[in-house]
Structure 1
Amino acid sequence: MNSPVAALNALNFFMADVRDGLGPFLGVYLQGQGWSPGGIGLVMTIGGLAGMAAATPLGMMVDRSRRIRLLLGLAAIAIILSCGANFVMPVMGVVAPAQIVTGIAAAVVAPAVAGLTLGLVGQKGYPHQLGRNEAWNHAGNATAAVLSGVLGWSFGLPAVFVLMAAMAGGSIFALLRIPAAAIDYAAATGAGDREGAPAVSLRDLLADRRLHVLAAAMMLFHLANAAMLPLLGQAMVARGTAGDASAYTAATVLVAQGTMIPMALLAAWLAERRGYWIVFVLALVALPLRGALAGAIQSPMVLIPVQMLDGVGAGLLGVAMPGLIARLLDGTGRVNTGLALVMTAQGIGAACSPLLAGMAAEWLGYGAAFLVLGVIAAAALALWLVAGDRPRA
């Protein structure tokens, strides 16, 4: 790593696996320890809610801090220690607090990485580096998924934790390769020409109509998006067309991740030349198309175009959403707070998505449930086209 930006790329690669903790592997492990499905769902929900509640305060902390690297390092260590506690003592009194710590620590990652990126490359270099961040992040996710599957099958679930600990070590090493002197902390918060002046008040930030529209669009997007992949797997299993359920689910993930990497790089290329507006619109367009295809075609081969569209939407949005916020809030000193606020809104949408999709599938059938999700996604697009402010290129 000969430059701070190369170290930032490595950080995004390694942190991809650390941020989500044990993820679905925790549920499998707890099930093997005799936990009920309800208990497993409860501790996972507790962790998610803790992260959602902590997101905005942590974004504010990133905007005020001159120790972003330390925040990220502490987050990685906290996640590893919490996940280790789950293995050492898998009882409710330990797992529930550990999931709370994991959720809170994970919530600091996105605003801290965004602030670190802005601090290293500034507004001018942000679109290009956002694409690289996302590409390295998805590459890390794909690599960790493959290695976790192989190691878990060969040596058991504890090997997955060892892999995550190794990735955390890689994250900390990458952080140490980024000199503190290379970070422009005024740029990291979006202070712009207001360097040295107080950031705009939280009240003024919350009153920003542009942020309201973006947050509402993202909430609708994730309300439609979060349940679509699980619902696709459930639909194919219910129809008896999925073959091996675990292999089918793994294939859905790999197709999407493989598409996200080039889409993130394309998003950066478009953002540099046309601005974030067109990237955001294209990301929003992909989801209604995905819902329509999933609802209309019952063949398991629909997996390929549906998950490619998932990769298109996620790959583009991973660049467009933080990029838009950085542009809209440039000069406020509150970029990372704004990012955390929007992430809280999208977290609410994602949390409600499985319930909405499950009820629609039960009452109307799987095909209609996909169309319901597609209509919600179309509403997100319509909201942005009608009410969103076109950012400058």
Structure 2
Amino acid sequence: MRVAYLISEYPKVSHSFIRREIAALERQGVDVLRFAIRGPSDGSPDSADVEELNRTRYVLGAGVGTSVVHVLRALARSPTAFIGAARSALRLSRRAERSLVHHMAYFVEACVVGNWMRESGVSHLHAHFGSNPASVAMLAGQLNGCTFSFTAHGTVETDAAQFIGIPEKIRRAARVVAVSEYGRSQLCRWVEPVHWNKISVVHCGLDEMYREAPLQQHNAARRFVCVGRLSPEKGQFLLIDALAELRRQGLDAELVLAGDGELRPEIERHSAQCGVSDLVRITGWISGATVRQEIDASRALVLSSFAEGLPVVLMEAMACQRPVIATRVAGVPELVRDGQDGWLVAPGNAMELAAAMRRCLEADASQLQAMGQAARVRAMDRHDIDRSALQLKQIFESLAGTTA
């Protein structure tokens, strides 16, 4: 069986779960073609990501002249489908967060992707994220008369569902994948009940390296690690405030921010203003192996997010037998059980976050080990990548031979 995957930017450090998903599908005999709008902007330090570069076709690498040829080919093949897809792009642009020019670019990209699919004999296209990749996939499906599906991950789809055309995309999609029950419920909000049965939950899976039991079952170091992009929805300012509150209480702990992003300068200034810059270390973008090293070196993972889908790093830390401290948002409570695998706190509450961090610092070795063991069992049970890939394979197989 052969399918095509479409991602906006691939490979990408923060989206390594997509690479793992593709690899797991291929282990189960699915031939996966990689299509991406553009290449990585974050350097992709993982060696596996470097290998993926050579296996991916990039729409923006085709060049203007070649893209025009693709548009003309799509028009000549089926003028009716061409006009219908162009109208859909125009309709998506109304009340959208991006302009008509952007949506016409998506239409051109869909012509390129659609022609690639025909050349490769692929009848189904799966996109990751419900924003522009799903827009291009939907338009390519119309142009080719083929099926498409997409995975919705969280804030991209929930923060601006109407403005990125989520309702129409769900209605037109053959299947839709959510990564949590919460995510599925939010997608159901935007469409009629007749479409709900096409929305399935498939959990993101753990990298193979996390199947190995950690060498150090718990870590008593006074160090927390937070993994993720330095961006508004992740709430790292709140985490700095909590760290400063602990210092006021006479408790110091190191905080490692493993990642990078647009808010790095502001976070560095805020750390200095709060008097905790000596406790905070920002790593910049690092490889998956280095992320694991940072998790292993920590007492616990802490996430102060205001909004999420279901963070992969939570399951990774739990697989490393590290308790987690996270805000009670979106799909997080489906994975983390308060008091068993870690601590759940109210989003936006620095004092509550500081209190949970204090409880973690005051926990003895036996408590840290017991929570870590419970966390690993739960993560390994719920986020087996091969089981998730089998679910996706069955979804794709169910669509074989159908048309849009």
Q: TM-score, normalised by structure 2?
A: 0.22
Highest CA radius of gyration, 1 or 2? Answer: 2
Structure ranking higher in helix proportion: 1
Question: If the length of structure 1 is used for normalisation, what is the TM-score?
Answer: 0.23
Structure with larger RCO (C-alpha < 8 A, sep 6+)? 1
